[in-house]
Amino acid sequence: MSDLESLKSSLLDEIENASDEAAIEAVRVNALGKKGSISELLKTLGKMTPEERQTRGAAINALKNEIGDAIAAKKTVLKEAAINARLAAETVDVSLPVRQSPAEIGRIHPISQVTDEITAILADMGFSIAEGPDIETDYYNFTALNFPEGHPAREMHDTFFLPPDENGERKVLRTHTSPVQVRTMEAQKPPIRIAIPGKTYRQDSDATHSPMFHQVEGLVIDKMIHVGHLRWALEEFCKSFFEVDSVTMRFRPSYFPFTEPSFEVDIQCDRSGPIVKFGEGSDWMEILGCGMVNPNVLRYGGIDPDEYQGFAWGMGIDRLATLKYGMPDLRDYFNADVRWMNHYGFRPLDMPTLFGGLSF
């Protein structure tokens, strides 16, 4: 057997035994690559005589073409086999439901949803949204809100105090969003109509209290403002938020250092079932505190109380969410339980609007 016939036999055996596309590619490189066995034979043609090229050269080129055709044919077979194997391994059950998109799987936290609902209502009533820092000075958190130094009213709040600074002043985690009222009065001349949603902090934790919670406050300052304006604003807000045609409210005298007179507000409801229903029933439930802005607070904000009056109210967003959507324990809001979120959460694209509906 000549050397060409021996090489041909060897290469054809390698092609036949190639088990996948990578193996047949290796055979091609070894035979027809730049340093392949057939390519090396082709390089010897230049040193041959014309008579040798006619016989030897023709035989080498014939071998090259035959091996090339054999490799191409084997590649086709292996490629089809690979596709068939992949199709068999990656079968799709077309009867299975389509996977949900992230927008369908994800959920908006009830606190975020209720905050959006509240701001949508208050914005429609002409309120602008104001914000302030979570870490406050004693002045803005207490003094400017008519909490005198050493006054027992400061003990109404279980405050988180931060370590003293270089001046010995201890800042606090704000116990209410009311400091934003004073900051707004300092920066803006009346008329003022703002809503203040945000986080607040107190050392309290049980089924109905948490050390970090959310509040929303409203503040209106203008000339000739009176309690009737306050009552109307609260009634309109509650009707919109609880999505009822009417509400019955009662105002009970109370005490807050920053308002005078001050009131606790109850709303008529029905608590006979698992969900509290507003606008009906014979029960009462406290939902917020409010009052006319204390003249001392107006003075701290740089506003003349003889010319301007105002009212303010504050309520817990967490509490409103619990009342509206029936979540029994505030602590669940912060447990990061996916099962709880899947049950109580809201779809991301269901943005609350007054014309489209607040809740879905």
b vs e for 7-43, b when ≥16 Cβ sit within 10 Å of the residue's Cβ? Answer: bbeebbebbeebeeeeebeebbeebbeeebebbebee
Answer yes or no: is pLDDT of 179 > 60.
Answer: yes
Structure tokens at 82: 């690979």
Q: What is the pLDDT of residue 315?
A: 92
Provide the H-helix boundaries in 18-131.
Answer: 21-32, 37-42, 50-52, 58-89, 102-105, 110-124
Q: Convert the pLDDT of each residue in 157-171 to its tens digit.
A: 678 888 888 888 888
Q: Convert the pLDDT of each residue in 41-68 to its tens digit.
A: 777 777 777 777 777 777 878 878 888 8
* 39 vs 252, residue with greater confidence: 252
Q: Convert the pLDDT of each residue in 251-305 to its tens digit.
A: 999 999 999 999 999 999 888 877 788 888 888 989 999 999 999 999 999 999 9
- DSSP state, residue 166: T
* 231 vs 47, residue with greater confidence: 231
Average the pLDDT over 87-93 and give the result: 80
**Alpha-carbon distance 189 to 303, whole Å?**
8
CATH superfamily of this structure's domain 108-344: Bira Bifunctional Protein; Domain 2 (3.30.930.10)
**Alpha-carbon distance 104 to 311, whole Å?**
42
Sorted by where each begins, the domain ranges of the chain are 3-89, 108-344
Answer yes or no: is pLDDT of 181 > 50.
Answer: yes
Residue 1's pLDDT band (boundaries 50, 70, 90)?
Answer: very low
Residue 126's pLDDT band (boundaries 50, 70, 90)?
Answer: very high
What angle separates helix 3-17 from helix 58-89, to the nearest 10 degrees?
10
Structure tokens at 31: 């035979």
Give the SS3 label for residue 270: strand
